[in-house]
């Protein structure tokens, strides 16, 4: 039996959950990871499989073709984009520059921010996502939309904050494509106007391919060049690069995802709010933060044998054992979750 306790809490650990409750991983409805439930675009999977024939060669250095595609997509110079092995690699790479400095991290928030800062000996300064960051910070991390609360900030406010500080401002927009403003809510183009602004993006959430590990950063070209000097040039595999390129050129898939989230996010939020004792934080992306009338771990113990996985939020600083984060899935999956929570 595999224990799932606070030290091991993280979304999407299907193997541990399957072992814990004696289920096949494919039989589990995973509401703990904020992944688009449609799975990757078919063309992306086909491209990734075809690229496996290139494993006898080194990957394309710095994922140059994908870098060029992303730069064109966002209207940026090619030298203003860096592609990494998931957004997590990009976070760690950026925060190498924070050694011995002070890093403002939103709390609650993604644990990898503080982990990356502490790994280089930086001092972590916690701040509430709806409050101004500490003035003493040398680096400020903003998650927009914020995970796990779903709070969505405006480009104008982020721009003004960046102008008003000497700190390097790192904006994590991993979920921005799943919000109603979409690209209009991004500050990615502002990176060419503000020398202290960096934006991190991910293909994991929207395109449902976390296993391919593709994330990227946009920043002033001088910073990107400095980061390239100290990184592994082969961190993006041929399969990852090929799958990402194919996904980015599939407008029909993107339209389908946007139609789904516009319908299912309010449906699930409203259905959860109708359950007695449940308090729902208004969502902006493909996840919903809920305060339940009992501990989330107790809910998970009840739902686990039924093949449903939720995100216990005890590992998020500032949240309680009664906080639970739920991904938005298909209508049938969402109905099954609501029914399970009611019984």
Q: What is the pLDDT of residue 3?
A: 40
**Whole-number Å distance between alpha carbons of 226 and 343:** 55
Q: What is the pLDDT of residue 6?
A: 41
Give tens-digit pLDDT for 231-240. 999 999 999 9
Q: What is the pLDDT of residue 5?
A: 42
Domains and CATH numbers, the chain: 6-40+252-342 (3.90.1150.10), 42-248 (3.40.640.10)
Question: Strands, E, within the chain: which ranges?
Answer: 29-30, 81-84, 102-106, 123-127, 139-143, 168-172, 197-202, 215-218, 279-280, 287-291, 308-309, 311-312, 323-327
Angle at 340 (CA atoms; ends 338, 343), nearest 5 degrees: 110
**Whole-number Å distance between alpha carbons of 201 and 216:** 5
Q: What is the pLDDT of residue 21?
A: 87
Q: What does the DSSP 8-state code read for residue 157?
A: H
Q: What is the pLDDT of residue 12?
A: 64
CA 218 to chain centre: 16
Q: Could you tell me which residues are beta bridge partners of residue 288?
A: 326
Q: What is the pLDDT of residue 138?
A: 98
Furthest-apart CA atoms within the chain: distance in Å: 57
What does each of the 343 residues of the chain score in pLDDT, given as a tens digit?
334 444 444 566 788 888 888 888 888 999 999 999 999 999 999 999 999 998 899 999 999 999 999 999 999 999 999 999 999 999 999 999 999 999 999 999 999 999 999 999 999 999 999 999 999 999 999 999 999 999 999 999 999 999 999 999 999 999 999 999 999 999 999 999 999 999 999 998 999 999 999 999 999 999 999 999 999 999 999 999 999 999 999 999 999 999 999 999 999 999 999 999 999 999 999 999 999 999 999 999 999 999 999 999 998 988 999 999 999 999 999 999 999 999 8
Whether the bond into 210 is cis, omega within 30 of 0: no
């Amino acid at each position: 039996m595999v224990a799932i306790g606070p030290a091991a809490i993280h979304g999407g650990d299907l193997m541990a959950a399957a072992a814990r409750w004696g289920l096949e991983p494919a039989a589990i409805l995973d509401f703990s990871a904020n992944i688009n439930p449609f799975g990757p675009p078919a063309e992306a999977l086909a491209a990734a499989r075809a690229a496996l024939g290139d494993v006898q060669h080194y990957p394309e250095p710095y994922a140059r073709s994908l870098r060029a595609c992303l730069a064109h997509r966002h209207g940026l110079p090619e030298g203003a984009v860096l592609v990494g092995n998931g957004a997590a690699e990009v976070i760690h790479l950026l925060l190498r520059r924070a050694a011995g400095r002070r890093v403002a991290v939103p709390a609650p928030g993604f644990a990898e921010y503080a982990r990356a800062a502490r790994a280089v000996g930086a001092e972590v300064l916690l701040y509430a996502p709806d409050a101004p960051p500490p003035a003493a910070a040398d680096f400020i991390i903003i998650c927009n939309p914020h995970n796990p609360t779903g709070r969505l900030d405006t480009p104008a406010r982020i721009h003004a904050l960046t102008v008003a500080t000497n700190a390097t401002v790192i904006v994590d927009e991993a979920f921005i494509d799943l919000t109603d403003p979409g690209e209009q809510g991004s500050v990615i183009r502002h990176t060419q106007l503000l020398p202290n602004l960096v934006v991190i993006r991910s293909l994991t959430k929207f395109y449902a391919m976390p296993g391919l590990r593709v994330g990227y950063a946009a920043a002033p070209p001088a910073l990107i060049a400095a980061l390239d000097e100290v990184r592994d040039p082969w961190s993006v595999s041929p399969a990852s690069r090929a799958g990402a390129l194919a996904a980015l050129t599939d407008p029909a898939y993107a339209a389908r995802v946007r139609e789904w989230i516009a319908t299912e996010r309010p449906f699930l939020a409203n259905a959860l709010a109708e359950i007695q004792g449940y308090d729902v934080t208004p969502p902006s992306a493909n996840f919903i933060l809920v305060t339940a009338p009992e501990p989330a771990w107790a809910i998970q113990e009840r739902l686990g044998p039924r093949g449903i996985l939720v995100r216990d939020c005890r590992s998020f600083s500032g949240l309680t054992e009664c906080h639970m984060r739920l991904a938005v899935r298909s209508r049938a999956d969402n109905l099954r979750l609501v029914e399970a929570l009611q019984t």
